[in-house]
Amino acid sequence: MKSATATGICLLCLVGVVAGVLVQHRSLSKVQAANAELTQTVQKVRRLSAENAEMARLRAEVPEVEGLRHETRELHRLRNEVRQLRELKPEWAKLSAENQRLRTALEPQGRPTRSVPEPENLIARESLSDAGLSSPEAALRTFFWALQEGNTGTIRRCFSEATLQQGLARPFEQAQGGASPMMPGFKGIRVMAKKIVSADVVKLGIQISADGEDSPVELALPFRRVGNEWKVDLASP
């Protein structure tokens, strides 16, 4: 009888120990699971912090990148203007030489060659008007009238769309009104030569006269026909 009781007690103790081990195992499993979840959360927080730091760095770099893009665009524009001026210079020399040859051929024998155009060729500032854009000469007169009047709308209308898109008309659009901001001392213009490049492209060789200048400014100005209108076309091909 005593032996059976002792055996029962041992069995109960064994069951208690096993139950305790199971409880501890379950508690340990829960702790390990919680620890793993906490570890994942910490890693996620660290990853998000690193991503936020990278985003903040990228945001800080955006203005600098935009500034570099703007400077690059300005550099391309200036290079384009310099290239256009270099291209126009020999063209103007050709127009001037051809015009001089024609004037020399038309002058009577024994008459000295004039180096300055006849005064009546001058389109005086006072005679400029909005002559429309039906021909290169009319567009030239309208363009300089708009410049002296500071008429920004008409100035823009005198340029081709490509010239406006490339920003080459911007210095002329800044006219504030009157001749003094854009053309100080402006007296008038002379058409010295005309070259028909194609059915839709014409170049006029002109002289711009101003008070206080010993010699007029010479320029070859290209015009392009757009529909039924002729417009100043400074855009690169």
Q: What proportion of the chain, given as a percentage, has pLDDT over 70? A: 67
pLDDT of the residue at 113: 43
Choose between 31 and 126: higher pLDDT.
126
Summarised one tens digit per residue, pLDDT across range 154-201 is 999 999 999 999 888 887 766 554 444 456 678 888 898 999 999 999
The helix, strand and coil proportions of the chain, stated in percent and rounded to the nearest 5, come to 60, 15, 20
pTM of the model: 0.49
Task: Answer yes or no: is pLDDT of 29 > 50.
Answer: yes
Q: Are 151 and 139 in contact (CB under 8 A)?
A: no
Q: pLDDT band at residue 101, thresholds of 50, 70 and 90?
A: low
| Separation CA 212–CA 217 (nearest Å) | 12
Q: Quick one: pLDDT at residue 226?
A: 94
Q: At which residue do the structure tokens 């009577």 appear?
A: 108
Alpha helices in 107-135 (DSSP H): none
* 143, 232 Cβ separation under 8 angstroms: yes
What pLDDT shows up at residue 111? 46
Integer distance in angstroms from the first to the last C-alpha of the chain?
118
Domain range 120-232, CATH class: alpha beta
Nearest Cα to Cα of residue 131 among 148, 147, 146, 152: 146
pLDDT in tens, 42-62: 788 888 878 878 777 777 777
User: Burial level of 203, CB count in 10 A (0-12/13-18/19+)?
Assistant: buried
Per-residue pLDDT band for 140 (boundaries 50, 70, 90) equals very high
Residue-averaged pLDDT of the chain: 77
Q: Domain extents for the chain?
A: 14-105, 120-232
The span from the CA of 47 to the CA of 29, in Å, is 27
